[in-house]
Chain A
Amino acid sequence: MKGVSCRWLVLGGAALILLPFALELLLGNGWVRIVDFALLYVLLALGLNIVVGYAGLLDLGYVAFFAVGAYVYALLNSPQWGLHWPIWIALPAGALLAACFGVLLGAPTLKLRGDYLAIVTLGFGEIIRIFLNNLDSPINITNGPQGIELIDSLHFGSLSLGQMHHVLGLRIPAVVNVYYLFLVVVVLGMVFSHRLERSRIGRAWAAIREDEVAAASMGLNTRNLKLLAFAMGASFGGLSGGLFAGFQGFVSPESFTLQESVMILCMVVLGGMGHIAGVVLGAMLLAILPEALRAAGDWEQMVFGRIWVDPSNLRLLLFGMALVLMMLRRPGGLWPSNARRNELQGQ
């Protein structure tokens, strides 16, 4: 951060503040919405980066924590239970419960080797989804496959972000309100991650990632440290889930499939495991790519008169190939951190 001069920070900040207006003018409201979702993915990727990038634990069920956060917010702010709690209770509650689930999952499994952990987390993600799908009986908690509707939009007291506001003669639609909230949360998440990485805990994680046996023999409590990584990563997921529920106004188990977990993992791996700027880049790229591919679908339709390759199909195909190729050619990711690059070349 030291190398970045004050001027660039101010310029970058101004650009980020003006971005939604520019997007709205040039491409329309739809694109502001896409960027909002991209910011949520950035937050998710930052959280998974703590688990995979810093601590080196492969979590394939990360979307479960996202789901927990989303359902907590949905239950506390919808007609489902008739509750309408303020967001400074609902969002932390989701993050906290997600962290608890992280510990619950981690406690029995973290003494296992990395590859077993991957499978168990994958199974955990599926179990959560199966429960969300089926907990509409005997007591209706999640409303089953239909999901929960009519969730209150994000609001601070009487100030709802789900409505258009007029400030100094400027029209600020809902998507732009939400953009600013998400931007603040993402920036806080980045600062938090950055501080965490350079803290005593962050260094301990790096030691565990590189050689667990050596780290343990240096006196690190590897199990507790790994649990902490799980809990912190999970709380990012839970927070992001709450924001998602409040923004979308609707949650259902469909949003929390294994494919989402893999997509978030792709973001971290493609961007550069353990490098915040890389992870943000990866998340932005992969969140916006499907929109570009949709355009490719229209183009196909125009040129060939039919859709040869379904865009959503193509998206997953490209992600899979990217994962394989990255591991072969650029294991550090598109934008790896200097330290990580040195580690990998030292191998």
Chain B
Amino acid sequence: MATFFQQLVNGLTLGSIYALVALGYTMVYGIMELINFAHGDMVMVGALVTLSLTHVLAGLGVPLALALPLSLLGAMAVCMALGWLIERVAYRPLRRAPRLAPLITAIGLSMVIEQVAALLWGRGYLTFSLPVSRVWNLGGVVVTPIQTGVLGLSLLLMWGLLWLVRKTSLGRAMRATAQNPEVARLMGVDTDQVISMTFVLGSALAAVAGLMVVAYYGIGNYTMGFMLGLKAFTAAVLGGIGSLAGAMWGGLLLGVVEALGAGYIGDVTGGLFGSNYKDVFAFLVLIGVLIFHPQGLLGGRAGEKV
């Protein structure tokens, strides 16, 4: 039973990171029906910038309690600028292009970001360790401060985003644009700006997720965004793409499924398959959802706009 709860805790931590990244996918998809492949790489950029800034600040003698938030703010600024730039330069001219075009652009962007990161940070693994050695042992289940921090911060951010979308005027403009861009424009909503802001918001969340990933795993690399992005996308589809609450539940659920799956697959199959198949779970979930329930758990809009 301890294994079960341990994997549950690990899964929830991982899932809350997926949820933060999934929010970025789902916001962009909800508004412009575009899968922004480069979003996973935005997490990588956020992670590596935070990592480097923390090292630089630590080198200057700034205490970690101050250096970490400062680096995070720096990484968020970099990611927000990058997100804005990408939308402006690469996606905006393609709004009326055939569907294949922005998808191909997104793949190209993802490659460019990864390779530039490889040039800047090298191809090796960068380490990042927070000096927290304390762990809490709750009846055999080990919980680290980093895990609680990840969970707490992501819940806070998700709550903040929901508040922003539901209560502020920017949120109302976003919802209007998602429903019908033309009518929203007629009603005086600056849809171009709303789309820019959506990218900026998603990128800021991705930067925070980046910090969480390096803090949790202790390493970062220029390819780290790829698998994470895929899984976050799966989470968004699982929850119902376009739905914010769906992305959160989808993320948490996927994290738990993956952790439990990796924890038990060896026992269930009698050692036939090991935890080296853990990355397969996300894809099986994705394919299963798409076949049997393509609108996802909370997705309302089914079918295609013709």
Contacts and interface: CB of A to CB of B under 8 A. Distances in A.
A269 B104 contact: yes
Contacts of A122: 230
B103 A118 contact: yes
A347 B108 contact: no
A115 B103 contact: yes
B220 to A, nearest CB: 18
A321 B108 contact: yes
A171 to B, nearest CB: 42
B111 A331 contact: no
B156 interface: no
A327 B291 contact: no
Interface stretch (B9-17, B77-85, B88-96): B88-96
B283 A124 contact: yes
Given A118-B103, A322-B108, A123 B283 contact: yes
Contact of B99 (A114, A130, A324): A114
A19 interface: no
Interface in B93-144: 93-94, 96-105, 107-112, 114-116, 118-119, 123
A327 B97 contact: yes
B7 to A, nearest CB: 21
A116 interface: yes
B306 A316 contact: no
B62 interface: no
A93 to B, nearest CB: 26
Contacts of B111: 262, 316-317, 319-320, 323
A112 interface: yes
Main secondary structure of the interface of B (DSSP, over half): helix
Interface string B267-295: 00001111011011011001100110010
Given A109-B291, A130-B277, A313 B104 contact: no
A295 interface: no
A327 B287 contact: no
Contact of B230 (A123, A265, A344): A123
B283 A126 contact: yes
A43 B90 CA distance: 31
Contacts of A109: 287, 290-291
A114 B100 contact: yes
A321 B100 CA distance: 17
B171 to A, nearest CB: 25
A347 B96 contact: yes
A258 to B, nearest CB: 8
Contact of B279 (A130, A138, A319): A130
Interface residues of B, number: 50
Given A317-B115, A324-B90, A327-B94, A116 B237 contact: yes
B104 A119 contact: no
Nearest to B288: A108
B155 interface: no
Interface residues of A, number: 47
B233 interface: yes
B283 A320 contact: no
B48 to A, nearest CB: 16
Given A112-B294, A123-B230, A317-B111, A327 B35 contact: no
A113 interface: yes
B95 to A, nearest CB: 12
Contact of A120 (B104, B107, B290): B290
A323 B272 contact: no
Nearest to B227: A126
A265 B100 contact: no
Nearest to A60: B107
B304 A113 contact: yes
A317 B116 contact: yes
A340 to B, nearest CB: 11
A115 B290 CA distance: 12
A160 interface: no
Given A108-B291, A324-B112, A262 B283 contact: no
Contact of A323 (B104, B273, B290): B104
A331 B273 CA distance: 44
Contact of A115 (B35, B115, B234, B286): B35
List the 7 shortest-distance A-B pairs measured between CB atoms, nearest first: A323-B108, A320-B111, A123-B283, A320-B112, A317-B115, A324-B108, A320-B108
19 contacts: A58-B100, A109-B287, A119-B237, A120-B290, A123-B287, A126-B283, A138-B271, A269-B104, A316-B115, A317-B112, A317-B119, A319-B111, A320-B111, A324-B112, A327-B105, A327-B108, A328-B94, A331-B98, A331-B101
